C-alpha cells in the first residue's frame, strides 16, 4: 500500500470521533478574532520561507523528536521565516494540534496546519487552534471535496495552500481557485523526490497566484533553483528542523530574491 493511502486510512478511522466536537468547535471559532493573513506574509521581494515544525517523517525517520515547537518556531522567525508550518499528524509525523496551538499563540507569524485534511472538522480544528491557513492535498481529494473544503476554509477566514505533485494535479489545484498553489517535489506514494520536474511545474503557475515550492530543499542553492523557476515561497521542513542552529539555517535560505514568472 502506498504511504499516502496508509496515512489517509488512519485519518478516516478517526473522523467519526472527531466530528462529535463540531458544535463545540463552531462555537469556539465564532468568537475568535480574524487570523493573520497568510498570503500577505508570503508577498515580499525575497522568496518567502515557510519553515516547518517537524519531529519525524516516514521517509527520514526521527528528525527532531524532542523539539519544543515554540522555541523552534521562534528561532525560525528570528532567522527570517515569513510563516510557520506545523505538522499535526501524529502516527507518522509525531505532530499534534497542541503543537499548532502553542506556535500560533507564542510566535508572531502566520501558521499553516500541515496535515492530511479530508473533512471540514479538521479545518474547524485548525481555526480553533489559531491557524491562519490549511494544506489541501489534491491527490487525497476528489474535485468536489477539494472545492468544498477550500470554500469552507475561506469562509472561516483561513487561507488554503493547495498542493499538487504532477501536471494533472496542478491543473486541478488551479481550477479550485486558491490564491496559493504549491508543487511538492516529493511523491507522497513512495516519498521519492524529483525537484527538476517539480520546478518545471512551478514555472507554469499563473503569475496571479502565489507559487510555493515544497520539499527536497536544504541549502541556499536549492532555494535559488526554485526561485529561478519562479517560486514566490518555499516550504522547508526536515533540513531546518534537524539543524543544530535553526535560526542560522533559516537565515541562510531566506534571502533569495524572487525572479517572478
- Which domains are delineated in the chain? 3-29+38-253 (3.20.20.70)
Q: Which of 57, 85, 178, 184 is catalytic?
A: 184
- pLDDT, mean over the chain: 95
Chain mean position to CA 10 = 19
Per the annotation, the verdict on 54 as an active-site residue is yes
Per the annotation, the verdict on 256 as an active-site residue is no
DSSP 173-192: HHHHT-SEEEEESB-TTT--
Q: Which of 89, 120, 163, 247 is catalytic?
A: 163
The pLDDT of residue 60 is 82
Per the annotation, the verdict on 163 as an active-site residue is yes
pLDDT greater than 70 at residue 173: yes
Chain mean position to CA 51 = 9
Place of cell 474547524: 124
pTM: 0.95
Query: pLDDT grade, residue 1 (50/70/90)?
Result: low
Per the annotation, the verdict on 14 as an active-site residue is no
Per the annotation, the verdict on 27 as an active-site residue is no
Residues 6+ apart with CB under 8 A from 244: none
pLDDT greater than 90 at residue 98: yes
Per the annotation, the verdict on 243 as an active-site residue is no
Q: What is the pLDDT of residues 116-157, one digit of tens each?
A: 999 999 999 999 999 999 999 999 999 999 999 999 999 999
Cβ 34 vs Cβ 157: under 8 Å: yes
Q: Which of 57, 64, 85, 114 is catalytic?
A: 114
Amino acid at each position: 500500500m502506498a504511504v499516502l493511502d496508509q496515512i489517509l486510512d488512519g485519518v478516516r478511522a478517526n473522523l467519526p470521533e472527531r466530528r462529535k466536537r463540531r458544535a463545540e468547535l463552531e462555537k469556539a471559532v465564532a468568537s475568535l478574532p480574524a487570523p493573520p493573513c497568510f498570503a500577505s506574509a508570503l508577498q515580499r521581494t525575497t522568496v518567502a520561507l515557510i519553515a516547518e515544525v517537524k519531529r519525524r517523517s516516514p521517509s527520514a525517520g526521527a528528525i527532531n523528536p524532542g523539539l519544543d515547537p515554540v522555541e523552534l518556531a521562534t528561532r525560525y522567525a528570528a532567522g527570517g521565516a515569513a510563516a510557520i508550518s506545523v505538522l499535526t499528524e501524529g502516527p507518522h509525523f509525531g505532530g499534534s494540534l497542541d503543537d499548532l496551538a502553542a506556535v500560533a499563540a507564542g510566535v508572531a507569524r502566520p501558521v499553516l496546519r500541515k496535515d492530511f485534511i479530508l473533512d471540514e472538522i479538521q479545518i474547524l480544528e485548525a481555526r480553533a487552534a489559531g491557524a491562519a491557513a490549511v494544506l489541501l492535498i489534491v491527490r487525497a481529494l476528489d474535485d468536489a471535496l477539494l472545492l468544498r473544503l477550500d470554500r469552507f476554509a475561506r469562509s472561516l477566514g483561513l487561507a488554503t495552500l493547495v498542493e499538487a505533485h504532477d501536471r494533472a494535479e496542478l491543473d486541478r489545484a488551479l481550477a479550485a481557485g486558491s490564491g496559493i498553489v504549491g508543487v511538492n517535489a516529493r511523491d507522497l506514494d513512495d516519498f521519492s523526490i524529483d525537484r527538476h520536474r517539480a520546478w518545471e511545474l512551478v514555472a507554469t503557475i499563473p503569475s496571479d497566484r502565489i507559487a510555493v515550492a515544497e520539499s527536497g530543499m536544504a541549502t541556499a542553492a536549492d532555494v535559488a533553483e526554485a526561485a529561478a523557476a519562479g517560486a514566490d515561497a518555499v516550504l522547508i521542513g526536515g533540513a531546518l528542523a534537524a539543524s543544530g542552529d535553526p535560526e542560522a539555517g533559516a537565515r541562510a535560505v531566506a534571502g533569495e530574491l524572487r525572479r517572478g514568472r
